[in-house]
């Protein structure tokens, strides 16, 4: 006997979507003596949406959880490995993205049959408004979707929040079998529309149309009924559909609701799938996450000796995983909500950015999945950089770049970072030279120094490099020659004034610790110390600003005389120039 069987006899599951059905199936398989009832508000043959997608990794977990349903699901799969992007009359394909889809209706039918086979009681067309109507139960699994009645009843305990998306979308089908996941971008007098489409069965494809709020209003779709919306989309994408009709299934324009929940269970009630979390449809993970929730819950119930421990284990396992997907989904969602900003990009650049939008897929991933696409990206990038066509091009990182009259051999920048090895008068010594030279020998196109003070009072520590004395010109000229003679790199120095972060000890003794002796007065935008223990700077006056400006001008001239190739001004890290940029550090009235 399973250890849970002693404490759990009756389980009620609200919602007969993939999450609820799969959870019931797996729990019943592990503990056949459990009395499990699944209650669904709709009829058994009613569903919304079209196809759902799964990856190879997801399928492996399904195979281990219940081989019979896995076999039936995979037998109904439509499998593809390409993504097509229709943009500016160009169609660009990237392969290697192995994805499988199944019609949502077929998936539900398979899971319903399996639930009946293992002895689960399925109740359809019964809507629950009051949990008292359920009678007694040992465990209530709420798999009743994003509008979960259970989550609303116990809102104070679950502490969820729903954030509606900024774009509008409508979930349609198409009587056309696509051979790739397809993104389509079409612009008309009303604005920009985009399509997320993929094959969902042997006869149809999912066809999601999305647009921003302004475009939706401009097109009059806010007052359009289902039939009118269907006609509008069919006309707009007629060329892409090739005469195939669009299909609707109680489809309407909505904003995608992103649901996040603080606590996933309360007493003997647990949330599952869309009842506890959602992730934007553009990363295709909703059903995957829901069914993986079911696997985790069933496993926890089988493994733990009491209900509370099982529900805690389920939440601890699934919540971090879901949060990772939600973060990627949010990035992807925001990309599509602001897609107009990228319409100036060339087709290849647009496609590459679209495929890498969420951060889950990188340049290297795309090259592994489709080397030909990777080569095409490299050639396009090389052509843009070199203004000429080429049959072979290095990866973008190794493509030369022009910065005005300066040409770098590649786009790699190497820096030794902040160094405190100089003489106390700010002169770069041989140790400093050796560290910068090593950066040049790395093959980088540009060697960037750490912060170089424009005055003695602009140093961070007494041993920071400077560019304010004629001896500094000689020292830096030696460094420049070493880089130019021994490497193909160019050299840049970062001009800086420490401001209120100056006059500190070596970082080996701790960050931003004031000097015990030999200090100097500090200046900043306002008289605010950098840390509670820092020296309080003096608010700069007009004379101070002129002196600092002249210090930067002098340092620039000296750097040029030393042969430095490029200058960078440090406007960050809380130093002097940065203190003028933030309202938290600049309290001035002028």
Annotated active-site positions, please? 575
| CA–CA distance, 524 with 501 (Å, rounded to integer) | 9
Give the burial class of 157: count Cβ atoms within 10 A of its Cβ; 0-12 exposed, 13-18 middle, 19 or more buried.
middle
Nearest to 198 by CA among 182, 175, 176: 182
Q: Residue by residue, what is the 3-state secondary structure of 131-157? A: HHHHCCCCEEEECCCCCCHHHHHCHHH
Q: How far is CA 148 from the centre of its chain?
A: 27
| CA–CA distance, 34 with 241 (Å, rounded to integer) | 49
| CA–CA distance, 183 with 339 (Å, rounded to integer) | 12
| CA–CA distance, 71 with 49 (Å, rounded to integer) | 23
Q: Residue by residue, what is the 3-state secondary structure of 57-96? A: HHHHHHHHHCHHHHHHHHHCCEEECCEEEEECCEEEEECC
Q: How many angstroms separate the Cα of 559 from the Cα of each of 154, 338, 433, 589?
A: 67, 42, 16, 35
Nearest to 138 by CA among 10, 39, 267, 28: 10
Cβ 367 vs Cβ 378: under 8 Å: no
62 Cβ partners below 8 Å, 6+ apart? 54, 69, 70, 73, 291
Q: 135: which 2 tokens?
A: 């009678």
Q: How far is CA 290 from the centre of its chain?
A: 20
Q: 392: which 2 tokens?
A: 């072979």
Point out which residues pair with 495 in neighbouring strands: 452, 569
Q: 439: which 2 tokens?
A: 């950066």
| CA–CA distance, 277 with 292 (Å, rounded to integer) | 12
| CA–CA distance, 164 with 383 (Å, rounded to integer) | 42
| CA–CA distance, 65 with 293 (Å, rounded to integer) | 12
Cβ 167 vs Cβ 176: under 8 Å: no
Point out which residues pair with 55 in neighbouring strands: 99
| CA–CA distance, 542 with 528 (Å, rounded to integer) | 18
Give the burial class of 34: count Cβ atoms within 10 A of its Cβ; 0-12 exposed, 13-18 middle, 19 or more buried.
buried
Name the region of 256 (left: φ>0; alpha: ψ -120 to 50; beta: rest): beta
Query: Whose structure tokens read 């000296």?
Result: 558
């Amino acid at each position: 006997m399973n250890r849970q069987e002693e404490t759990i006899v009756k389980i009620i599951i609200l919602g007969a979507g993939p999450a609820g059905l799969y959870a019931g199936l797996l729990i019943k398989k592990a503990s056949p003596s459990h009395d499990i009832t699944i209650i669904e508000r709709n009829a058994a043959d009613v569903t919304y949406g079209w196809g759902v997608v799964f990856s190879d990794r997801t399928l492996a977990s399904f195979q281990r959880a219940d081989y019979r349903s896995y076999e039936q699901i995979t037998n109904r799969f439509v499998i593809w490995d390409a993504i097509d992007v229709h943009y500016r009359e160009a169609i660009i394909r990237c392969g290697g993205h192995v994805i499988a889809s199944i019609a949502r209706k077929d998936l539900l039918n398979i899971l319903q049959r399996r639930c009946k086979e293992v002895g689960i009681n399925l109740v359809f067309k019964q809507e629950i408004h009051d949990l008292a109507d359920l009678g007694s139960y040992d465990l209530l699994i709420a798999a009743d979707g994003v509008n979960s009645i259970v989550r609303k009843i116990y809102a104070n305990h679950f502490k969820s929040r729903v954030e509606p998306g900024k774009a509008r979308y409508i979930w349609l089908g198409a009587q056309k079998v696509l051979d790739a996941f397809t993104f389509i971008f079409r612009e008309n007098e009303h604005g920009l529309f985009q399509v997320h489409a993929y094959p969902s069965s042997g006869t149809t494809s999912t066809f999601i149309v999305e647009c921003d709020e302004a475009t939706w209003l401009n097109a009059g779709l806010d007052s359009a009924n289902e039939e009118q919306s269907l006609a509008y989309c069919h006309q707009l994408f007629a060329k892409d559909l090739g005469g195939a009709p669009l299909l609707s299934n109680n489809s309407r324009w909505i904003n995608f609701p992103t649901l996040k929940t603080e606590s996933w269970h309360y007493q003997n009630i647990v949330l599952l799938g869309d009842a506890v979390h959602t992730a934007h449809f553009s990363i295709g993970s909703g059903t995957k996450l829901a069914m993986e929730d079911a696997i985790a819950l069933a496993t926890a119930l089988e493994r733990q000796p009491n209900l509370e421990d099982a529900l805690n284990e389920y939440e601890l396992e699934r919540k971090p995983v879901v949060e990772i997907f939600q973060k990627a989904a949010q990035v992807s969602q925001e990309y599509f909500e602001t897609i107009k900003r990228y319409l100036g990009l060339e087709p290849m650049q647009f496609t590459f950015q679209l495929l890498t939008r969420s951060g889950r897929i990188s340049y290297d991933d795309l090259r592994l999945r489709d080397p030909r696409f990777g080569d095409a990206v490299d050639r396009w990038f090389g052509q843009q950089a070199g203004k000429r066509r080429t049959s072979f091009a290095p990866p973008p990182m190794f493509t030369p770049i022009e910065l005005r009259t300066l040409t770098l051999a590649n786009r790699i920048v190497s820096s030794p970072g902040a160094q405190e090895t100089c003489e106390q008068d700010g002169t770069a010594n041989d140790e400093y030279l050796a560290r910068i030279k090593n950066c040049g020998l790395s093959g980088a196109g540009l060697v960037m120094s750490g912060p170089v003070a424009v005055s003695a009072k602009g140093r961070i520590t007494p041993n920071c490099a400077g560019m304010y004395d004629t001896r500094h010109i000689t020292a830096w000229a030696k460094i420049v020659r070493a880089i130019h003679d021994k490497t193909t790199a160019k050299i840049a120095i970062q001009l800086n004034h420490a401001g209120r972060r100056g006059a500190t000890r070596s970082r080996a003794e701790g960050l931003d610790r004031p000097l015990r002796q030999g200090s100097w007065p500090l200046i900043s935008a306002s008289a605010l110390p950098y840390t509670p223990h820092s020296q309080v700077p003096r608010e700069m006056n007009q004379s101070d600003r002129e002196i600092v400006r002249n210090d930067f001008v002098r340092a620039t001239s000296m750097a040029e005389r030393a042969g430095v190739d490029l200058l960078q001004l440090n406007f960050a890290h809380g130093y002097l120039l940065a203190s003028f940029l933030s309202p938290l550090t600049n309290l001035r009235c002028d």
